[in-house]
Amino acid sequence: NAQSRSIEEAFLHYGVPYKIVGGQRFYDRKEIKDIMAYLRFIFQPADRISFERIVNVPTRGIGTKSLQKFYEYQTENNYTLLQTLGQASSIAVPTKAISGFLQLADIVTTNQSIMENAAVNGIIDSLIRRIDYMDFLSDGTPAGEAKQENVKELLSVASEYSEMGLGGFLEEVSLVADIDQADFGNNSVTLMTLHAAKGLEFPVVF
């Protein structure tokens, strides 16, 4: 599955419409969305949608009620999301949730301190090690291994944008994802495995 990314981006680059059968587009995969949400929140800590995606991924003891209390405290004190994370000890939530909020605050501020000078793939590598994301994905199944391969592929993508910085990388990925959603009609390449293509009598198979 991870191999489809380079083919997808080539299609997008040359304006070739395509559809994937039997799988998700690369940037639609949960594990890729998780890492991208972390990167967006590090770059733009006012991004509440990204914050809500990552606040308890991997699991750090933050439930719905704790998050509600978090937002109430933020509103009462007119704090930013990041300021509220740093003040988690003052929020009336369980100790485990406080620890989780403070941990996330440290992850974000640590990566913000290096994002100006570090290559994007270095930031991603540092992030996935810090949150033990590969262990989080490892469940002993082929699906878990495929998810890990996808994250490795994202690292490979990021190495191609090392000169652009985190902001440039996020912008490029956003453009690719936007084009990805475009509807080009039915005249398109069908991206699938050879096994799935057998017997369908396509005029041309690459």
Segment 82-99, tens digit of pLDDT: 999 999 999 999 999 999
Nearest Cα to Cα of residue 37 among 61, 21, 57, 18: 57
pTM here is: 0.80
Question: Which pLDDT value is given to residue 177?
Answer: 67
| d(C-alpha 197, C-alpha 200), whole Å | 6
pLDDT at 3 exceeding the cut of 90: no
Could you tell me which residues come within 8 angstroms of residue 67 by beta carbon, excluding any fewer than 6 positions away? 52, 55, 56
The pLDDT tens digits of the residues spanning 119-162 come to 999 999 999 999 999 999 998 899 999 999 999 999 998 988 87
Distances (CA, A) of 149 to 35, 61, 65, 146, 165: 13, 27, 34, 5, 23
Give me the residues paired with residue 190 across strands.
19
Q: CB burial class (10 A; 0-12, 13-18, 19+) of residue 85?
A: buried
Cα–Cα distance list, 44 to 49, 68, 166, 195, 198 (Å): 11, 21, 11, 43, 46
Token pair, residue 172, equals 């490029």
Smallest Cα–Cα separation from 166: which of 76, 72, 38?
38
